[in-house]
Structure 1
């Protein structure tokens, strides 16, 4: 005997177009298409005369159950202050305009119905339903309901959950009506259903061993909802299963940063992360330490990073529970807090503790403690993990040295002397590292950290004021190169810490150009973390500085344009790009002493990247092609970045072949540069190509990405 539910196979709304006239998308920007017509829906109808009120009526109806709204409700929403007679007449006109806007020429289809109520009450308008009018939000809800129904009867619901996800991931409900009260209830309802869809889909994918797909779905959802701990926890678990502990820690830090904006609890105190989230984070931190300990028997049995200790980024206070306060008060407060936190922090080196209250640390103490530590670090199998620990502790020591240096400078003549030829040589070496960091990352890290240690050690000495200032400036420059290098290696927590050090050093040395360059790089890190809003106070800080280097000024204008592009502000983005172009045209840029790489090619690249972010590939590609044509042939890392941006633009256009070919070229270059940030951009190309993930070209690109990632990790 066969039951009805054993044969369930519903006709999915988007698979059947029989009798369909219109396809309306309200998840993401509003879009309207005609089905079965010889011509496309004319986009000018969306901006023509009377279009705004007609579209308002359409959206209002789609936000209501059964696509129906009473006349009284509509009048209250759109003409609350108008006389009832004029408002009713206006509503009639708008309804007529909506029919004209949606209906193809020559069609007599019933699109909008006037529904009479009983006793003259409850009359209103109802938009025709499916199949005549297909709406993505309704198809999304239908898919969810069918998926739940299939699971209730023991059927395979994964295709339906995946279908619902593809619809729900288009965007939030009517984002252009985010401040309209009438859209709020439907938006919140759909957001909750999309959240349910993501969690159920990822659970099913994990059960079937499709870890990468589950991670992609979770990451995409969580990055749009960074305070959702229910999404963060399984994402961190998946990363932990693959021993990607640092990546999990980076996501946790991004969560803390977003969490600072959460409202206070009922006792007016900052809310804390869920205990389960903290437990997972501590567990992964412990696993990370255990992995390092197993690989290096010489490491101390007391771990440098414990499950209970705060992260280094948290120590910088940027993402602590008080993070918003320093930002509101400007960078000076943030730097002051940074100095206090790092000065009083324990270095973590066994038997060695640096505290400001106990006095200055001698040069011999620094050398005695750091050198054996470095020898053990570089002999480890897992070099990157151990370098991370070494750089962490160097930062703690450097922070102490930087705080103490102004006190040594109180005595202009100093009690110790440094041969100026040594200082000149250190400056020459630093200039060489600025040039080298353009195309190399991992290969540079070891020697660069040694150079930083040398300068930090010298900074502890009681030197004449001028010598001390030069060393402060040098330490700030090297820290910024280290931050830039670490950023490219996806060591974002450490990169931020070294940028902070660089700013404090620039402040101490009274060098506003280095200060501005450091802020610019911090802004780029915030953009990468998808927190462009946090960059706005930093931009204001830049505008208050007196910057001498024209190239830095021009570069910062382009960086500002990228911030506005990520915020979706096309007008502000265009204004910032115009400023950069004007400076580039009318003034000499001068020496690129802080490796901004800014040039005509770089400006065109920034412009292209902005248009990519604004989802304007037709404008992005000419700019990126110009950037490529003007590029220095030796700038291979920059070339790989431009190629990936072009790949994203072609993917947005649906040109699979060109997108994959350009991304593959970028991966070939990345085997030379070992740039992990380019690998991340290739992943963006793949995410844009998700609709074609089953094609041979996309699968081959994913294979090449995995191969290159493995090559760089070795």
Structure 2
């Protein structure tokens, strides 16, 4: 028996480490390790869940589980380098959609790493030729970078399939990287770092929506660092807050709490005209709900409500998008976690009465379906969950699918009802094909 390289490549391409995949499947890390080494087989009951996490069919999973016999070393050849160089590279036409997506992802992360490194390097006149006069990067260039960032955020907000925006973000990241090569002053550097911090947060959102938590966390980390280099505490605070969502959705509220403590500290040093500190409070409320602390949760939600007391228009674009309009659904999510059905239904009902994106609507409906489970009301469960299934299919959103998977984990006590078992099968099928 040999290693299952295709299986390991697949889980890494989707952003899973061995530990994270094990956690998602509810098995021991060493079990996943044995699968990868070809020393064990996933049991029958775990295969549908593994296929769903790897976004493959059961037939495709069987292919991934085939082991590879160890290959004997090739005899040395004096023509080795020429033979390697002579191989024909794959063209775009030769590559499948999955290969292309993986190429884009790796290229994108490479650009992020390069740009993040450049952002952290001190500028010195010694970096320029002796006969070169140091000049400021044209302000029009920086404004163009920022304007493009704003445009990409708008495209992201409107896109049904969020990952379709990634190639455009990748291309723009390369342009900003080129801008660093032309930067000659600390002011240039700070302005470019601000643009980088903005774009990294958008990249993180795309990966987060696709359930690629590792890549999302990487992007948010770089965004927070870029905010520090830009001397913009609000930018860093928002990146830390987004990073906290990764821990929240991995069911690690204490890890999220430590990130939010840092975010709150950064926000306290930021622009008091911005809503940053109120957004931090709203996300802290969800952490307190996850920890079962109703009093602290309510206190944080009340603090978040103070956003409505800001003077003038509240910023709602780019990396800071909190204006308090989502507080009803955020309250509902918190109360669902706390098992306060009366409070949750009232807040979620208020949220459904507002104009919202399909992703947000899917989230609210999923919470209402969970309320149906908590009440034992199968009609409510099926009614709302069916709408979430339709939205997940239409948007191809990993975020909405994740809400469905969380819902599925609660269905077991009601599986004797045929409607619930059908719903369970529909969620599994969508997860396998999504």
Same fold (TM over 0.5): yes
SS state at 1:697 partner = helix
Instruction: Measure the CA separation in 2 of the matches of 1:507 and 1:644.
Output: 37
Contact 1:438 1:637 in 2 (8 A): no
Query: How far apart, in 1, do the equivalents of 2:171 and 2:353 lie?
Result: 37
Distance in 2, Cα, partners of 1:452 & 1:540: 30
Q: What is the CA deviation profile of residues 666-698 of structure 1, one whole-angstrom value per residue up to 9, with x for unaligned ones? A: 222233332112111112222222212243322
Q: Which has the larger radius of gyration?
A: 1
Cα distance in 2, alignment partners of residues 637 and 541 from structure 1:
28
**Which of 263, 267, 272 is 1:542 aligned to?**
263
298, 312, 318: which one pairs with 1:594? Answer: 318
Give the alignment partner of residue 114 of structure 2, picking from 370, 391, 397. Answer: 397
User: Aligned in 2, Cα 1:599/1:705: closer, same or farther, shift over 3 Å?
Assistant: farther
Match of 2:19 among 236, 249, 252: 252
| 8 Å Cα contact 1:448/1:478 also seen in 2 | yes
Q: Deviations over 1:18-49 (max 9, x none)?
A: xxxxxxxxxxxxxxxxxxxxxxxxxxxxxxxx
Q: 1:399 to 1:417 in 2, by over 3 A?
A: same
Pairing of 1:662-681 with structure 2 (within 5 A): 662-681=384-403
Mapped to 2, the partners of 1:703 and 1:656 lie a distance apart of 16
Q: What SS does structure 1 have at the residue aligned with 2:353?
A: helix
Partner of 1:187: none
Q: Structure 1 residues 279, 625: CA separation in 2 closer, same or farther (over 3 Å shift)? A: same
After superposition, the C-alpha distances for 1:157-185 in whole angstroms (9 at most, x for unaligned) are: xxxxxxxxxxxxxxxxxxxxxxxxxxxxx
The residue that corresponds to 1:426 in the other structure is 145
Shift of 1:253: 4.3
Give the match for residue 458 of structure 1: 179
Compared CA separation, residues 555 and 282, structure 1 to 2 (3 A): farther
Deviations 1:523-549 (A, max 9, x none): 111111111111232232223221325
Deviation of 1:606 (Å): 0.9
**1:480·1:498 contact (CA, 8 Å) conserved in 2?**
yes
How far did 1:514 drift? Answer: 0.8
1:646 deviates by 1.4
Aligned equivalents of 1:669, 1:612: Cα separation in 2: 21
Number of the residue aligned with 1:630: 354
Determine helix, strand or coil for the equivalent of 1:630. Answer: coil
CA contact (8 A) 1:664 1:704 kept: no
2:325 corresponds to 1:608: no
Provide the TM-score with structure 1 as the length reference: 0.47
Q: What corresponds to 1:491 in structure 2?
A: 212
For the 8 Å contact 1:550–1:589, the answer to whether it is kept is no
Which of the numbers 334, 345, 355 marks the counterpart of 1:621? 345
1:669 to 1:597, Cα distance in 2 relative to 1, 3 A:
farther
Counterparts of 1:407 and 1:583 in 2: how far apart (Å)?
Answer: 39
The one of 375, 382, 404 equivalent to 1:653 is 375
Distance 1:487 1:463 in 2: 34
Structure 1 unaligned runs (5+)? Answer: 1-236, 257-272, 285-372
- Aligned residue in 2 for 1:348: none
Distance in 1 between the 2:248 and 2:418 partners? 33
1:448 aligns with 2:169: yes
CA distance in 2, matches of 1:410, 1:589: 45
Take 1:692 and 1:468, find their aligned partners in 2: how far apart are those partners? 58
Instruction: Report Cα offsets for 1:253-280 as digits up to 9, x if no partner.
Output: 4879xxxxxxxxxxxxxxxx98776565
- 1:93 maps to none
2:417 paired with 1:695: yes
CA distances 1:278-335 after superposition (whole Å, capped 9, x unpaired): 5656779xxxxxxxxxxxxxxxxxxxxxxxxxxxxxxxxxxxxxxxxxxxxxxxxxxx
Instruction: Tell me if 1:563 matches 2:268.
Output: no
How far residue 595 of structure 1 moved from its aligned partner, in angstroms, is 4.9
Shift of 1:563: 0.8
Work out the CA distance in 2 between the residues paired with 1:453 and 1:385.
17
Return the alpha-carbon distance in structure 1 between the equivalents of residues 242 and 408 of structure 2: 26
Distance 1:623 1:392, change over 3 A: same
Equivalent of residue 505 in structure 1, options 226, 232, 244:
226
The equivalent of 2:97 in structure 1 is 381
TM-score normalized with structure 2 length: 0.75
- Matched residue, 1:520: 241
Give the CA RMSD over aligned residues: 3.5
The alpha-carbon distance between structure 1 residues 707 and 431, as it changes in their structure 2 partners (threshold 3 A), is same
Instruction: Give yes or no for contact 1:551–1:592 (8 Å, CA) kept in 2.
Output: no
State the 1:627 CA deviation.
1.2
Name which of 436, 453, 478 aligns with 2:155: 436
Give the deviation of 1:387 after TM superposition.
3.0
Distance in structure 1 (CA, Å) of the matches to 2:219 and 2:102? 17
Alignment of 1:73-222 (within 5 A): none
Cα distance change, pair 245–498 in 1 and its aligned pair in 2 (3 A) = closer
Aligned twin of 2:202: 481
8 Å Cα contact 2:315/2:321 also seen in 1: no
Structure 1 residues 683, 250: closer, same or farther in 2, change over 3 A? same
Is the alpha carbon distance of 1:254 and 1:533 closer, same or farther for their aligned partners in structure 2, counting shifts above 3 Å? farther
Deviation at 1:702, TM superposition (A): 3.0
The Cα of 1:447 is off from its aligned counterpart by: 0.8
Q: Does 1:471 align with 2:192?
A: yes
Gaps of 5+ in 2: 40-88
**Contact 1:601-1:631 at 8 Å conserved across structures:** no
* In 2, Cα distance between equivalents of 1:660 and 1:593: 35
Change (3 A) 1:242 1:693: farther
CA offset at residue 579 of structure 1?
1.0
Q: 1:431 to 1:248 in 2, by over 3 A?
A: closer
Q: For 1:611-652, what per-residue CA distance to the aligned partner results, in whole angstroms no more than 9, with x for missing partners?
A: 1111222221110111111234xx222111111111112221
From the superposition, tell whether residues 377 and 249 of structure 1 become closer, same or farther in structure 2 (CA, over 3 Å). Answer: farther
- Count matched residues: 369
Task: Give me the whole-angstrom Cα distance separating, in 2, the residues matched to 1:629 and 1:528.
Answer: 26
Q: Output the CA distance in 1 between the equivalents of 2:18 and 2:367.
A: 24
